């Protein structure tokens, strides 16, 4: 009986030790992901042997569809995402914070005047990381995109006082203090006549084509500039 009890106690200790180890391992993983600003994304369980880009795209075909598809999509999902699949649970995170991840391929501007979202590494506020119907995987035409932060009472933009966030295009949210510090365009703060073009949709920026309407990016850089207000040279 004592020998049996000894085995039982040993099994109990091993079980407690295994559970403790699993808890510490999970905590360490969560801590590491929290440190780079990542949150676990719930996902149906996929066996680790089935984690391949081809499999991902069978359920997420929209990631590779659109007029502007990010070249990174062709490199494979694991170039940007970490997938952990164990204990009948699959979790997905980015390999690093968004700004750091984008900077692995896109050289950062080192100009004196930087657009706040760009400076803060909030690339996904303006860009879809996979694909879109607009140049550079923008979430909307230039004017629509710019005015979501810099316009007054724009459709599709919602400010939530309870969560202290502003919901922008594509469901992206930013802290309300960041949204409120974005300068708002009106006739009093913009060159005379400039606001008359703001209702036009941007379909490109090839100035050699007369049919291309002028837009915000005709005068302003999107990321950085030598000049105040991100003005383009000669604007």
pLDDT in tens, 86-101: 888 888 889 999 899 9
Global confidence as pTM = 0.72
User: Which pLDDT score is estimated for 86?
Assistant: 86
Strands (E) in 56-157, as ranges, are 68-69, 81-86, 89-94, 113-114, 131-132
Instruction: Please list the alpha-helical segments (H only) found in the chain.
Output: 2-35, 53-59, 72-75, 98-102, 116-119, 142-150, 176-181
CA 25 to chain centre: 27
- Spell out the residues 6+ positions from residue 95 whose beta carbon is closer than 8 angstroms to its own: 80, 81, 82, 101
Instruction: Return the bridge partners of 68, or none.
Output: 132
Residue 14 pLDDT greater than 50, yes or no:
no
| Residue in the structure block whose two tokens are 């502003």 | 166
How is residue 81 written in tokens?
Answer: 């995402």
d(CA 183, CA 149): 8
**Residue 220 DSSP class:** B
Q: Residue 142: pLDDT above 80?
A: yes
Check residue 135 and give its pLDDT.
92
- CA–centroid distance for 18 within its chain: 37
- Selected residue with higher pLDDT from 198 and 180: 180
pLDDT score recorded for residue 19? 40
The domain segmentation of the chain, as residue ranges, is 38-95, 100-230
Distance CA 165, CA 146 (A): 18
Residue 219 has pLDDT above 90, yes or no: no
Pairing of strands 68-69, 81-86: unpaired
Q: What percent of the chain has pLDDT over 70?
A: 70
Q: Is 113 helix (H, G, I), strand (E, B) or coil?
A: strand
- The model's pLDDT over 106-138, given as tens digits with 9 standing for 90+, comes to 998 889 999 999 999 999 999 999 999 999 999
Non-local CB neighbours of 102 within 8 Å, separated by 6+ positions: 121, 123
pLDDT at residue 10, rounded to an integer: 47
Quote the tokens at residue 116. Answer: 């706040």
């Amino acid at each position: 009986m004592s020998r049996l009890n000894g085995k039982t106690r040993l099994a109990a200790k091993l079980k407690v030790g295994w559970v403790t180890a699993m808890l510490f391992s999970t905590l360490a993983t969560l801590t590491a992901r929290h440190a780079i600003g990542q949150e676990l994304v719930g996902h149906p369980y996929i066996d680790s042997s089935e984690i391949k880009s081809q499999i991902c795209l069978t359920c997420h075909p929209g990631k590779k569809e659109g007029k502007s598809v990010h070249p990174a999509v062709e490199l494979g999902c694991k170039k940007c995402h970490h997938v952990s699949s164990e204990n009948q649970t699959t979790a997905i995170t980015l390999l690093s914070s968004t700004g750091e991840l984008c900077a692995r391929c896109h050289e950062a501007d080192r100009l004196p005047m930087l657009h706040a979202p760009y400076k803060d590494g909030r690339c996904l506020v303006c860009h879809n990381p996979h694909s879109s119907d607009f140049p550079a995987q923008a979430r909307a035409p230039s004017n629509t995109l710019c005015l979501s932060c810099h316009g007054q009472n724009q459709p599709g933009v919602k400010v939530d006082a309870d969560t202290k966030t502003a919901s922008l295009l594509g469901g992206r949210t930013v802290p309300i203090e960041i949204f409120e510090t974005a300068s708002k365009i009106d006739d009093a703060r913009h060159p005379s006549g400039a606001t008359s073009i703001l209702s036009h949709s941007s379909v490109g920026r090839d100035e050699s084509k007369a049919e291309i309407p002028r837009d915000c990016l005709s005068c302003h850089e999107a990321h950085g500039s030598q000049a105040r207000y991100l003005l383009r040279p000669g604007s």
